A and B are shown apart, each in its own frame.
Chain A
C-alpha cells in the first residue's frame, strides 16, 4: 500500500468518529435533562472518590458507621461535628450517606452486571436456537414474573441468609443474600427483552446472508445479532441502576438488608422510623438519606433517558 493511501485512511477514520462524538455531545447539550442526570451521577461518583477525605473511616471496616452507641439518647441536630446530625444510637448520618454512596454504586454495579450477563446469555440462546430450550427458559421467566417481585425477593433473601456460600461479595452474609436475591429475580427481564430483539434480528436478511457465506452460529450471534440487539439492554440497565438501589434500600428498611450500623441509605431510613412520628422535630433523620436516594435514582433515570435519546438510532436523528 502506498503511503498516500495510508494517509488517506488514517485521516478518514477518526474524522467519522469525531463527527459522531460531536453529534452525541450536541445531542446531550440539546436535552438539559440528560445533562442534569449526567451531572448528578458524576456528583455521586465524586462523592465516592472523595469519601475517605470527606468522612475518614474510624474502624477497620469503613462501611460501619461510627457511633457513640449510647442507647436512649435523642438524635442530635446538624452541627459542625455531625454535618447531617445523628440518628438512633448516635450514628453519624453524614458518614452513612457518604459511604452509602459507595455501597449503592457497588450494589448497582454487581447486580446490574450479573443480571445483564445472565439475561443476555440466556436470552440469546433462547431467541437464537428457539424450540424446547426457548420454551423452558421462557416458561421459567413467566414463573418469576408471576410473583410480585418484592415479595419474591424477600422470600429468596430470607432463604438465602440461612445458606453459607463458598464465596463472599461484601463480607456480610445478609448483604450477599440481598444481592443474589435481586439478581435471581432481575435477570428474566433482560432475557425477555433480548430474546424479543433476537427474534426480530434473526430473520433479517443479513443474518441469513452471513449464514450463507459460511459463518458459524457463535460468529453470527456475536458479530451480527448481539451488536444489533444490545442497545435496549444498555438503556434498561441504566434505568435499572437506580431502581435496584431503591429496591436494596427497601430491603434494608424491611430489616432484610444491611446489618444495623452498616452505611446503607435504607438502613438510615430504617433508623429514622422511630423519629418520624414526632413530626418535623427530628427532620434531619429522614430528610438527608431520603434526599440521597431520591437524587441517585433521579440521576440514573435521567441518564437512562439520555442514553435512549443518544443510542437509539430511531431517536438519535430526530
Chain B
C-alpha cells in the first residue's frame, strides 16, 4: 500500500481469555487510513469495532491479548509499529498524535474537575513547552512595568520558568512545585492555558465559553459535554482522531451539529479520522471511505460512493438491504451473529450467506483488492 497512509493495520489477531473459553474477537483485521480522510468503521454490536480502535492506541481491555499483527502509524516521515513500542513512548503518542473521542461524553469527563481543569491537564501534559514560552513572554512584559517587590517576584518567577524550559527535573523546581503557596507560580501557565481553552471552545461553537470553562461535567448538556470531549481530543492537534460512536447518545439535531463540526475541524486541523459507528446514515454523511466489519473481520473496504452504489460482500449487501425504508417490508439477515468462542470455520459469514460456495466453510477468504481501492474478503471475487 502507498506511503500516504497514516495508519495501516495488518492481520491483527486479538483474543479474550474468558471463563467461557477463548473469544477470538479480532481475526486478522486489515485496515488502512489515508492521510486527511475520514474512514468509517461500521458493523453490528460486538463485531470488534471498538476493540480495533482501542488497539490503535495499544490499549486492550483486561482479559484480551493481541496475538499477532502490525499497526503501523506514520508520524510525519517516521513510521512506528504501535504494538512494538515501549509504554513510555506510547504515553507520548496517546493524546499527542492519536487521540480518542468516547461514546458517552459525560462519562468521559471526570465528575470532580471543572472543564478548565480537565482540558488544562491535557495541555500541561503535551504542550508544556509552548505554555511555558507564552507565560515567560507575559512575565517579562509584566516585569518591565512592575516596580519594587512585585518586580522581584516576577524576576523569581521568570527564573523558575526558565528553569522549567532548561532543566525541568531540577531539585529546586520539584521542591517548589510541591509546596502549597510557592507552587502557585504555575498559575501563570494555567492562565495562558485557560485562554487557549476558551479559544478552542469558541471554535467548537460553545456559547459563552468564559462561563462553560468553570462548569462541572454534570452542569453540561450532552452536546456541550461532547464538544468539551472533542476539545480535549483536539487540544494537541492530533494527526489521527479516533471517534468511537461520538454521536450515538445524542439526539438527532445535536448529532447533525456535531457531525458538521467534525467535518469542519478535520479540514481546519488537517487530522485524519477513524469514525467508528453502526449507523450507515452517518457514514454516508461524514466519511470518505468505509470499512465494514463482521465477527472480527474487515470484510469490505472502499470508497463511500462506490460502496453504497455497489457493495460487493454479501454481508454488506444484506446490511444495506436491511436499512428500514418506508412502505417496504423490513428485510433482515437470516440467522444470528456467531459466537466468537466457536466461530464458523472458513469464512465467518458462510452460514448466513446466500451465495455459499463449497470452499467457504473450509478456507478463510483473503482480503484482496478487487477494483481500484476497493477491498473485499470473499470467495466470490477471486
Chain A residues with CB under 8 Å of chain B are 1, 5, 8-9, 12-13, 16, 130, 204-206, 208-216, 219, 223-224, 227-228
Q: Which of chain B's residues has its CB closest to A216's CB?
A: B91
Contacts of A12 in B (CB 8 A): 214
What are the residues of chain B within 8 A of A9 when measuring CB–CB? 194
Sample of 20 more A-B contacts, CB < 8 Å, known A214-B96, A227-B112, A228-B110: A1-B191, A9-B194, A205-B102, A205-B104, A206-B108, A206-B109, A208-B59, A208-B102, A208-B108, A209-B102, A212-B57, A212-B102, A213-B95, A213-B99, A213-B100, A213-B122, A214-B125, A215-B91, A223-B121, A228-B112
Q: Interface SS of chain A: helix, strand, loop or mixed?
A: helix
29 contacts between A and B (CB under 8 A): A1-B195, A5-B210, A8-B210, A13-B214, A16-B214, A204-B107, A205-B107, A206-B107, A206-B110, A208-B102, A208-B108, A209-B108, A209-B229, A211-B59, A211-B94, A212-B57, A212-B99, A212-B100, A213-B94, A213-B95, A214-B90, A214-B92, A214-B93, A214-B95, A215-B121, A219-B125, A223-B121, A227-B112, A228-B111
Which residue in A16, A213, A216 is a CB contact (below 8 Å) of B232?
Answer: A213
Docked Cα-Cα span, A219 to B233, in Å, equals 18
Query: Does more than half of chain B's interface fall in helix, strand or loop, or is it mixed?
Result: mixed
Tell me which residues across on chain B come within 8 A of A13, comparing CB atoms. Answer: 214
- CB within 8 Å for A212 and B112 given contacts A204-B107, A223-B121: no
CA distance A224 to B118 in the complex (A): 10
Partner of A213, one of B103, B112, B125: B125
Contact A212 B94 (CB under 8 A): yes
Question: Which of chain A's residues has its CB closest to B242's CB?
Answer: A212
Measured CB to CB, the residues of B under 8 A from A are 57, 59, 62, 90-96, 99-100, 102-104, 107-112, 121-122, 125-126, 191, 194-195, 210, 214, 229, 232-233
Chain A contacts for B111, CB-based, 8 A:
206, 228
CB of A212 within 8 A of CB of B59, answer yes
Q: Are B62 and A214 in contact (CB under 8 A)?
A: no
Nearest CB in chain B to that of A313: its residue: B111
Output the nearest chain B residue to A223 by Cβ-Cβ distance.
B121
**Which residues of A lie under 8 Å from residue B121 when comparing CB positions?**
215, 223
Q: Chain A contacts of B232 at CB under 8 A?
A: 209, 213
Interface centre among A12, A214, A216, A227, by most B CB within 10 Å?
A214
Q: Which 7 A-B pairs rank lowest in CB-CB distance, beginning with the nearest?
A: A213-B95, A214-B95, A205-B107, A214-B94, A212-B100, A209-B108, A205-B108
Shortest Cβ distance from residue A70 to the other chain B in the assembled complex, whole angstroms: 55
Compute how far the CA of A180 lies from the CA of B229 in the bound complex, rounded to whole angstroms: 47
Contact A224 B95 (CB under 8 A): no
Q: Which residue in chain B gives the minimum CB-CB distance to A201?
A: B110
Q: Which residue of B lies closest to A12 (CB)?
A: B214
Query: What's the minimum C-beta distance from A235 to chain B, rounded to whole angstroms?
Result: 17
Chain B contacts of A228 at CB under 8 A?
Answer: 110-112
What residues of chain A lie closer than 8 Å to B103, measured between beta carbons?
A: 205
**In the bound complex, what is the Cα–Cα distance between A164 and B59 (angstroms)?**
50
Bound Cα distance from A212 to B96, whole angstroms = 10
A200 to chain B, nearest CB (A): 13
Minimum CB–CB distance from A132 to chain B (whole Å) comes to 13
Q: Complex Cα distance A224/B125, Å?
A: 15
CB < 8 Å neighbour of B91 from A8, A130, A214, A223:
A214
Chain B residues with Cβ below 8 Å from A204 are 107
Most central of A8, A130, A209 by chain B CB within 10 Å: A209
Of B93, B111, B195, the most chain A CB neighbours within 10 A belong to B111
Least distance between A1 CB and chain B CB atoms (Å) = 6
Q: How far is the CB of A39 from chain B (nearest CB, A)?
A: 30
Chain A residues with CB below 8 A from B109, complex form: 206, 209
Residue of A nearest to B62 (CB): A130
CB nearest neighbor in B for A211: B59
Which chain A residues lie closer than 8 Å to B90 at the CB level?
A: 214
Shortest distance in angstroms between B43's beta carbon and chain A's nearest beta carbon?
Answer: 21
> Which residues on B sit within 8 Å (CB–CB) of A223?
121
For the complex, what is the distance from the CA of A212 to the CA of B243, rounded to whole Å? 12
Report the Cα distance A206→B101, complex, angstroms. Answer: 11
A11 to B154, CA, bound (A): 23
In the assembled complex, the CB of B227 is this many whole angstroms from the nearest CB of chain A, namely 15
Chain A residue nearest to B210 in the complex (CB): A8
CA distance A213 to B108 in the complex (A): 11
A211 to B103, CA, bound (A): 15
